[in-house]
Structure 1
Amino acid sequence: MTSPNRQTKKNAATRKPGPLKLALVSLVAMLLATLLTGCWDRLEIEERAIILGVGIDAAPKDEVDKPKNITFIGDNRPKMDAPKLRVTVQIAVPGRIPLGPSEGGGGSKSGEKPVWVVNAVGHTIDDAFNSIQQEVAHRLFWGHLRVIVISKKVAEEGLANINEYLRRNPEVRRTSWMIVSEGEAGELMRIVPQLERVPILYILSTMDHAVQMGKLPNAFAGYYWSAASSKGADPLLPYIRTVESGSFEVAGLAFFRSDRMVGHTEPLEIGAYMGIKNMQSGGYSVLVQIPDTETSVMYQITHRKSRIDVAIRNGKPEISVKIHNEGNLLEKSNEEVQLSRQVIAQIEQELTKLGPNLFNTLVRKTQEKGADIFGFGEYVRAKQPGYWNKEIRTKENWESMYKDIRVNMQITYSIRRVGGKTT
């Protein structure tokens, strides 16, 4: 005869699970099932055409008018006022990108190039990229794009179409560099640098190191697009030119009015721009003559501090900029003058006397073109909102008013160090 306790245990073992327990088991099973789908849409890196750099130039009319029947058939092309473009891309070749420092610049030991340079022309930038895609087996991938070089000619005609395409593309990083080239942008996609095996990475490292040394603002693509969208500021981009060695140099800043390039600065004026913008790290040096002597010293700014104030006078905004520069003496041209406290004070006075000329020249240069790259208009919007909403309102009105406003500069200098040799 079965005992009552044994019968109770048997009934409990055969009892069906309740609805709550079934729901919990189903939920756990569903969650575990999602872990099995991690690779359903995987795409091997060898199956992507990874774009590292892009060069954009104006295309000759005869090249663009050759029908390829890729984005339209025959003469059935839409009418557009955008400039016709030649796009040159630098695509990484799988397996040839060097991973260590053992090989020389410009390629691998076997002489194989780590990148493939392809170009095409089009009525718009995407039209050109559609032509490039016809030549490339794998899908073009923008996730590793680092540098976009635009020729001066294209920049002067306007970047509306280029920026519209790049900003719509979710794969394009906002931290990619956009650069204006004095010459052909496509040539920079073909340079063979001596210090880097992947050409576009040499351009990238040049820009990044210039920022670290205080010789260039961090004016990447996102910075440009932000300024272009602001009502009280105009954008700028680094401006470069090729040199005889086959490389290139940072030649200034290209400044824009709306989306068109209207001028560029000189290299030393980059330091003036960074001073006005309160970019504290300094890197530029200036040669100054000691008063009443034939001795000159090299002075390098190491730190800056600036302040911008706005006032409304006679119905117009008036900008006051106060900048203090601190730096070191790096070199003295001869031994005739000793660096006593009195002489150091004279050098500081000479710098304070001559320094504002550089800043005023830069401001006037931008005012002549109506390009407020300093963002003075944003200070007016922030500190005088009533005046802005009543008298200005739009970016176009501010660009016109910027030409005539008064900008007062107060620049001072101090010398912190004179090096190990004090005489």
Structure 2
Amino acid sequence: MDKRWRFVCMLLIGICMLTGCWDRRELEERASVLAIAVDVDEENEKNYRMTVQIPIPIKIAGSSSRSSQGGGSNTDAVKIMSVTGRTITDATNNLQLRLNQRLFLGHTRVLAVSEEIAREGIEHIMDWFRREPQIRRLLWPIIVKGKAASLLEIKPELAQIPVVFIMDLIENGKKMGIIPDKTLGDYFNATSNKAMQPLLNYVEASRNEVKWKGIAIFRNHRMVGSLNPNHTWSLLQIRDKKRGGDVVVKLPGTEDDYVTFRPHFVDTNLEMRLHGAREDGIEAIYHCEVQGDIVEITKQGFHKGSPEKFIKDMEALIKREMEERANQMIEKVQKQYNSDIFKLGLKLRGHHYRDYWIKHDWNQDFKNFPIRVEYTIKLRRLGMEMQ
């Protein structure tokens, strides 16, 4: 009998400890924000104008209530709302006052910030996104040339929800190795570390499309410049071992003929070598090996020599072009922007802490730190050619 009572007591205690769905909230009772854009209010420059994109579930294609009608278009599948506020919190509170459902930010995937605000500094904006528990660290902050709200107002024909088109653009570019995967968490990590500086994707939006223009470079939460796609691909190769985009090189001895090289595999090693007579003199050398194919030559019969000589000549030609691009990129990042987006400071602090790091102010000395890039090009395929 004692065992039975003991079992009943344990069962009752276990039932009391079980949790239920007492605080559940249906999806239809939430206003899920997919994207947020932050601009300067035109009427009052001291205020922010926050624009959000909220999907309308009943108008999205595939919903049961509209399956017979074929769903909605990208015109009516989302709701675009704009509010103003002195701070991001103030603007969010003003937005909630205009909604009949509770605002939910757990599904937010894109944060668009205008270039105007980015050049003034975004530390005070990012403070709210760092503190808000609903915000995911995997969302993509994007700097927009012009108004940030234009990124949310596009009407792409390839996607029903505009923000999904933007997400696919970045996701596919990341998989192809031509667009950096820079999330909100990456930005927080970079700005919390004195040995590196952040970078974000830089786009321009028109009525029907979005164009990726490269990256925006930051220094202490303030945008100081940008890199075009060619220079961004050089950065991705030497820093992240990403393949980057195709390399179009003008053929020597021609007026308007080109060869196109498509990288496939990239392997980069960073070497820190003693430099100069000073004891703490160090230089960084990136050894970058790129394997790829020639996918196009606009001038037929350009090379009359042996195939072996043709391969060597093409490798040397592509090597000069890629090293020239990389050196131009390094010159701009160091001398013009003075922002360590290479993560060189992490290497120096980890391996040369006593003999270099504690003796220098990296934020000031980075612009004069010697950096070299040496490319090794290996052609794998030349493509098929009719003889």
Same fold flag (TM > 0.5): yes
* Residue deviations 1:223-271 (CA, integer Å, cap 9, x gap): 111111122110000000124x631211010010010000000111121
Residue 320 (structure 1) aligned to one of 277, 285, 290: 285
Aligned to 2:239: 277
Equivalents in 2 of 1:252, 1:400: separation in Å? Answer: 25
Q: How far apart are the structure 1 equivalents of 2:340 and 2:204?
A: 24
| Deviation of 1:279 (Å) | 2.4
Asked if 1:38 corresponds to 2:20, the answer is yes
**SS of the residue aligned with 1:321?**
strand
Q: Pick the structure with greater CA Rg.
A: 1
Report the Cα distance in structure 2 between the residues aligned to 1:291 and 1:263, rounded to whole angstroms.
33
2:267 aligned with 1:305, yes or no? yes
Q: Is the 8 A contact 1:278 1:307 kept in 2?
A: no
Q: Given that residues 96 and 112 in structure 1 are in contact (C-alpha distance below 8 angstroms), is that contact kept between their aligned partners in structure 2?
A: no
Question: Secondary structure of 1:387's match?
Answer: coil
Of 319, 337, 344, the residue aligned with 1:352 is: 319
8 Å contact from structure 1 (residues 278, 305) kept in 2: no
> In 1, are the aligned partners of 2:51 and 2:149 still within 8 Å (CA)?
yes
Equivalent position SS for 2:58: coil
Give the residue type in structure 2 aligned to 1:167. Answer: R
Q: Verify the 8 A CA contact 2:348 2:357 in the aligned structure 1.
A: no
RMSD of equivalent CA atoms: 2.2
Q: Secondary structure at the match of 1:385?
A: coil
2:176 matched residue in structure 1? 213
Match of 2:350 in 1: 382
Unmatched segments (≥5 aa) in structure 1? 1-15, 65-82
Listed as ranges, the matches of 1:387-402 within 5 Å are 387-388=355-356, 390-392=358-360, 397-402=361-366
Q: CA deviation at 1:341?
A: 2.3
* 1:154-198 Cα distance to aligned partner (Å, 9 max, x none): 111111112111111121111111100011011111111100000
Alpha-carbon distance in structure 2 between the residues aligned to 1:135 and 1:293: 64
**Is 1:57 the counterpart of 2:22 in the alignment?**
no
Any idea what the Cα deviations from partners look like across 1:357-414, whole Å, max 9, x if unmatched? 111111111112221111110010111121355214xxxx312110111102111212
Residues 307 and 112 of structure 1, relative CA distance in 2, 3 Å threshold: closer
- Superimposed CA distance per residue, residues 19-39 of structure 1 (whole angstroms, 9 cap, x where no aligned partner): xx644432222223444x421
Instruction: State the match for 1:75 in structure 2.
Output: none
Q: 1:373 aligns with which of 318, 341, 365?
A: 341
Matched residue SS, 2:240:
coil
Task: Write the mapping of 1:67-78 to structure 2, written as runs, cut at 5 A.
Answer: none
Q: Where in structure 2 are the equivalents of 1:187-206 lying within 5 Å?
A: 187-206=150-169
Check whether the contact 2:234–2:322 (CA below 8 A) recurs between aligned residues: no
Contact 1:143 1:173 in 2 (8 A): yes
Equivalenced residue count is 375
Q: Is the 8 A contact 1:317 1:380 kept in 2?
A: no
- TM-score (ref. length: structure 1): 0.83
Deviations 1:278-332 (A, max 9, x none): 324x241112234445652111111111111224543344211111111111111
| Structure 1 counterpart of 2:343, one-letter code | G
Q: State the secondary structure of the residue aligned to 1:116.
A: strand
Taking structure 1 as reference, are residues 421 and 197 closer, same or farther at Cα in structure 2, changes over 3 Å only? same
Q: Pick closer, same or farther for the CA change 1:345–1:111 going to 2, 3 Å.
A: closer
Give yes or no for contact 1:48–1:138 (8 Å, CA) kept in 2.
yes
Secondary structure at 2:10 match in 1:
helix
Paired amino acid for 1:301: P
Distance 2:349 2:75 in 1: 55
Q: Take 1:335 and 1:344, find their aligned partners in 2: how far apart are those partners?
A: 15
Q: CA deviation at 1:337?
A: 2.5
**What is the alpha-carbon distance in structure 2 between the residues aligned to residue 408 and residue 232 of structure 1?**
19
Q: Which amino acid aligns with 1:207?
A: I
Distance 1:98 1:47 in 2: 20
* 1:415 Cα deviation after fit: 1.0
Amino acid of the residue matched to residue 42 of structure 1? R
From the superposition, tell whether residues 258 and 299 of structure 1 become closer, same or farther in structure 2 (CA, over 3 Å).
Answer: same
Contact 2:237 2:244 in 1 (8 A): no
Q: Distance in 1 between matches of 2:36 and 2:323?
A: 39
Q: Percent identity?
A: 29
1:17 to 2:2 alignment: yes
Deviation at 1:356, TM superposition (A): 1.3
Hey, which bits of structure 1, 4+ residues long, moved more than 3 A? 21-24, 107-112, 289-295
1:74-115 CA-partner distances (Å, limit 9, x unpaired): xxxxxxxxx631100001223223348xx9xxx944887111
Contact 1:377 1:398 in 2 (8 A): yes
Mapping of 1:114-125 within 5 angstroms?
Answer: 114-125=77-88
TM-score normalised over the length of structure 2: 0.90
Q: Which residue identity lines up with residue 230 of structure 2 in the other structure?
A: L
Indicate which of 248, 271, 275 corresponds to 1:287: 248
Cα distance, 1:46 vs. partner?
0.9
Q: Which moved more, 1:339-348 or 1:208-217?
A: 339-348
Kept after mapping to 2: 8 A contact 1:108/1:197: no
Do the aligned residues in 1 keep the contact of 2:74 with 2:160 (CA within 8 Å)?
no
Range that drifts further, 296-305 or 259-268: 296-305
SS of 2:271 mapped into structure 1: strand
